[in-house]
Amino acid sequence: MDNPNDPNQNHLLAALPTAEFERLARDLEWVAMPLGEVLYESGGQLQHVYFPTSAIVTLQYVTEDGASAEIAGVGNEGVIGVALFMGGNSTPSRATVQTGGSGYRLKAHLLLEEFNRAGPLMRLLLRYTQALMTQMSQMAICNRHHSVEQQLCRWLLSTLDRSPSSELTMTQELIASMIGVRREGITEAAGRLQQAQCIRYRRGHITVLDRAGLERRVCECYDVVRKEYARLLGDVRQRQQLPPSTRR
């Protein structure tokens, strides 16, 4: 069984060649990431980047009147804090833990030092950033043109892809906040999915019973993002999968 406290549970860290990984590993700090914790606020200076292992983080845009909507989700496939190595020290989004778990953080200046070597880490992070931009763009299209039920199916499937369990700890209020719709809309959509026996819902918990059923109901946005991540990052577990005798 995989060690849940192994930094290689993060796919980007697992993809680094041994020399690059070992330079970072001694400074990686394991952190608990409980549900609801804010890793950074919009406009704040980035002191660390975060590599989730079992946690899932939502990036949200927050308006002046306090309303918010998710612009991307990040789990063990990614990193929190791309603005740092893209040339900025702050970001317009808020990063909040959507599914509690853990991960690793690294001081900002240490990541920049490795990034500026212009080696494997830089190329990997730029590929990841392109995939993240695709997710953000597709989510904007989805929120504008697709039904609440389709958006809920997309959110459930994307969360399942990052979770080891088919049971998700999440309230309808929080889902509504992330998608940017009224809670009543989520209640109606979840009710229809429950009637179709795709999910079972009790307060604070959603169990997916029929993933194929969700895939039949979801819009094309889910598949567009999934295929782009696979195209850009399909080989990111390479170092971990190689036997010790063949690792470089």
The CA distances from residue 125 to 163, 198, 206, 220, 229, in Å, are 22, 36, 33, 26, 13
Which pTM was predicted? 0.87
| Coil, helix or strand at residue 227 | helix
Predicted confidence band at 247 (pLDDT cuts at 50, 70, 90)? very low
126-155 pLDDT, tens per residue?
Answer: 999 999 999 999 988 888 899 999 999 999
CATH of domain 7-143+223-246: 2.60.120.10
pLDDT at 245: 38
Give percent of the chain with pLDDT exceeding 90.
60
Q: Which strands form 68-74's sheet, in the order they lie side by side?
A: 38-40, 93-99, 56-62, 68-74
Residue in this structure with the two tokens 């330079």, named with its chain if needed: 23
Q: What is the dihedral of CA 5, 11, 13, 16, to 10 degrees?
A: 140
pLDDT per residue as tens digits for the range 73-83: 999 999 999 99
Residues of the chain within CATH 1.10.10.10 domain(s) are 147-218
Q: How many angstroms separate the CA atoms of 240 and 159, rounded?
A: 23
Domain 147-218 class in CATH: mainly alpha
Which segments of the chain belong to CATH 2.60.120.10?
7-143+223-246
